[in-house]
Structure 1
Amino acid sequence: MYEPKILTEGFETEVRSKLSVKKSELSDQSIQSKGVAGLSESMVIKRVPAYSTITDESDLMFLEAAVQYYMSYLLCLTMANRLKHKVSTIEVSWERSKVDWQALAAEFLGLFEHALANIETVEVVVPDSALMALAKMERDE
């Protein structure tokens, strides 16, 4: 399990809330994984190298929000495969409204950038536009 540097207790619930899913649909372990929490924190740390010196409460909130938005972005890329859209049995039948996970992923990427842009007490590295094009690449479902 990944040991967070920026994320605080309860971040798993926050991420699930952003994605509008239940714990049974997205486990704490999936959210806490190195490939999600670790990668997301690494992305933020690369953009905010002096993150550990931030003491301003608002900037700390934006810092953690940026990590959570990036986690949500990464998880969106896998959510279509994780969730059942339709369930039918003899006793029960239900259908979940479809979610455009690609569009939601793009929205989370925008919110990630917005959160970073609101950090004022330390320098935030602005990425090369070529890197941003790679980050926005669409993935086939």
Structure 2
Amino acid sequence: MFVFNSNFPFSIPNIDAINWDLVSLPTFADKPKIGSQSMPVVFGITSISKQKDAAMNVIQYLMSEEMQISESKKGVMPVSTTDAARKAFAQDTPFKGKNWGALYYNQIAPGVPKSNYQLSVEKSFTSYIQPIVEGKKDVNTAMREA
């Protein structure tokens, strides 16, 4: 079992050599149907921007149903919660036959605030994950090096 985010097959080399599929994550008895948190990409416009209207137009385009479906087909998790955007997920990829509905089986858990200290510690460990996934290092070696 491998718990990761929805873009994992698109970032792991030679994953097509493995017979894999998806299921929803287990939930806690006191939080039924509540899954993991999301890892969203966030767009914003700074207060010093000289092109605020143009920037907002770009964000609105990126959030449009047309763009959400287009990106969803490529395997980019849509922000849109419409059935069309969700059903389109990964349909233009080699993984279109996988059980992508598992991504939407549970509700997304609410976010938890993180301190600056937590973010810096997480960042220091992130680079040690990929070699484990690629089979270049075992977990114990990576943790010792980290």
TM-score (norm 2): 0.27
User: Which of structures 1 and 2 has the larger relative contact order (alpha carbons within 8 angstroms, sep 6+)?
Assistant: 1
TM-score (norm 1): 0.28
Normalized per residue, the structure richer in helix is 1
Instruction: Return the index of the structure with the highest Cα Rg.
Output: 2
